[in-house]
Each structure stands twice: as structure tokens, then as C-alpha cells.
Amino acid sequence: MSSALLTGLFNLLRPRQWTKNLVCLGGAFFGGRMFQPHPAGRACLAVAAFCAASSFVYIINDIFDRERDRKHPRKKLRPIASGQVTVPQALGFAVLMLAIAIALGACLGSAILGILGCYAALNIAYSAGLKNLSLVDVTIVATGFILRIYAGTTAAGVIPSAWLLLCTFFLALFLAFGKRRAEINAASRSVFAGAGALLDPPDTTGVDISATRAVLQMYNVTMLDRFCNICATLAIATYALFTVLGHPDHNLIITTPPVVMGFFRYLLLVERYHEGEAPEAILARDWGMQLAILIWVILYVAVLYFGLKIDVQ
């Protein structure tokens, strides 16, 4: 097996997007069990199972999208679209990833296997055509995060909080709408070549922005900005309510400010600098987002695990 093929197969896994599967740790983390070896270990195993399952889904999606990807300035470099990996090779690798996901899920029990099955089936339907339906596309993405939460809480033996589920759903919708907005901007920039960096929403009237993702023709920048703002408001509100209503320790309220600033920073990057096409890349390189997340984690751990107290009732 050539090194080029090995590199292509590795890139098919999209390891940068495995960060999404850390959501599976939410049950153990928010349930105060991250320092307990058994539930924390099972939650980590759920992360690994979802990494394999999501890679399976990405490979299937790349097979479906290979012709459309060849028209995209960045996605044309993907292994299947570029010809680095053939479709039969990709299918064989997808089956291997599915087998790994099933094996890991079986170690955690039938409930986790069922959740993984729902995730795989939902995303195959997404790749086969549901991604071309406006609003349905982002709802499926958000549902994938809810399934991750359920997998993590089931593995760790924690009952998921309704507030946590709502906050996760709205956060996922926020990221998905932000991604669609960035994709419209990227498609517009490719059409208006030579226009330079765009710091204001481009005029896409009469422009075919659906060449690389058909559903984009159903959205526009103004609409997506509105959707992002609504979802950000709902996510912040549900998290704030979780800290005072969904948890007996009201000291968690001090973790709300970094959450708010994290949303503000992300909105700034999406609406002003047209980031957001790859949310995982923003988290990997933007110091503002990293700082907000770090402060939030430190405060949450300090309150829930080390008993930090403030004068609040």
C-alpha cells in the first residue's frame, strides 16, 4: 500500500472533526463524574465509538458528494474527489470504520449500539438527499449532537438534564447556521474572484451559489444572521437557566459570562470576518474562543469538583 493511499485514507477519517465527539463526555463532566474511573472510562469509549461512526459517515458522504466536491475550490482536494482514493477503496475503509464503531459500541451495551445505529442511519439519509432540504439539513446536524449527549450520559450512567439537551441543540443549530453563512460567503468569493477579502455580506443576487451545496440556494446572509442570533440567544438563555434551575449548586452562575463572551466572539468571527465554514478550525486557532472555553472549564471544575463558593442564593 503506497504512502499516498495511506495519507488519503487517513484524511478520509477527518480527524480534525473528531473534536465534535467530545460532546460524549458531557454527561460525565456535567454529572460530576469525570474523576471517577469507571463512568469516565465508559464515556471516553463512547467518544471513540462515535469517532469511528462519524468517520464512516464522512466517507459515505464524500462518496455521494465526489462530483460536487470537484467543483469546490477547497473540497476538490479531498481524497475521493481528487482521485487519491478510489470509490471501492473508500467503501472498504468505510465498512472497517463501521465494524470498529459496532465493536466499541458492543462493549458499552445495546443502548449505545442503538444510538450509534440511529446516528449512522440518520446521516446516511442526510447524505442521500435530506441535506438538500432547508432547515432539515441543520436539524439533522443538531440531532447528531443530541445523540452524542445521550450516548455519553448512557455510558456514564447519568440522566441527561433537559437544560443540557436544549442548550446542546441550540448550540449545534447556531454552529450549523454559521457554517451555512460562511459557505455562502465562500461560494460568493469564488464567483467574484479578485474582489479581495469581503468584510460585508456580498450581493449574491443572480449568482449560483449552490454549485457546491444545493441547499445554499434556499438561504441568504440576512436570514442566516437572524437564525444565528436566535439560536445564540436561546443557547445562552438555556445555559443560564441550567446554572440556576437545572443544578442544585447556584454557584455555577459564575460560569455564564465566559459562555456569553464565547458566543459573542464566534458571532464576530462569522459576521465580520466570514469565518465559520469549519467550526473545528476556529476552536483550534482562535485565541479568543480558546480563552473563553478555558475560563469556562476552570470555573466549572472549580465549582463542581472543588467547591468554589460565591455569595449567591
The whole model's pTM is what? 0.90
3-state DSSP of the chain = CCHHHHHHHHHHCCHHHHHHHHHHHHHHHHCCCCCCHHHHHHHHHHHHHHHHHHHHHHHHHHHHCHHHHCCCCCHHHCHHHHCCCCHHHHHHHHHHHHHHHHHHHHHHCHHHHHHHHHHHHHHHHHHHCHHHCCCHHHHHHHHHHHHHHHHHHHHHCCCCCHHHHHHHHHHHHHHHHHHHHHHHHHHHHHHCCCCCCCCCCCCCCCCCCCCCCHHHHHCCHHHHHHHHHHHHHHHHHHHHHHHHHCCCCHHHHHHHHHHHHHHHHHHHHHHCCCCCCCHHHHHHHCHHHHHHHHHHHHHHHHHHCCCCCCCCC
Tell me which residue has cell 478555558: 294
**Per-residue pLDDT tens digits of the chain, which is 313 residues long:** 688 899 999 999 999 999 999 999 999 999 889 999 999 999 999 999 999 999 999 999 999 999 988 887 888 899 999 999 999 999 999 999 999 999 999 999 999 999 999 999 999 999 999 999 999 999 999 999 999 999 999 999 999 889 989 999 999 999 999 999 998 888 776 544 444 444 454 444 444 566 667 899 999 999 999 999 999 999 999 999 999 887 777 899 999 999 999 999 999 999 888 888 889 889 889 999 999 999 999 999 999 999 888 877 6
Residue 288 CA: distances (Å) to CA of 114, 258, 262, 300, 313: 38, 10, 8, 18, 31
Residue-level pLDDT at 75: 85
Tell me which residue has cell 455569595: 311
Residue 60, all three cell numbers:
459515505
Residue-level pLDDT at 41: 96
Q: Which domains does the chain have, with CATH numbers?
A: 11-160 (1.10.357.140), 168-313 (no CATH)
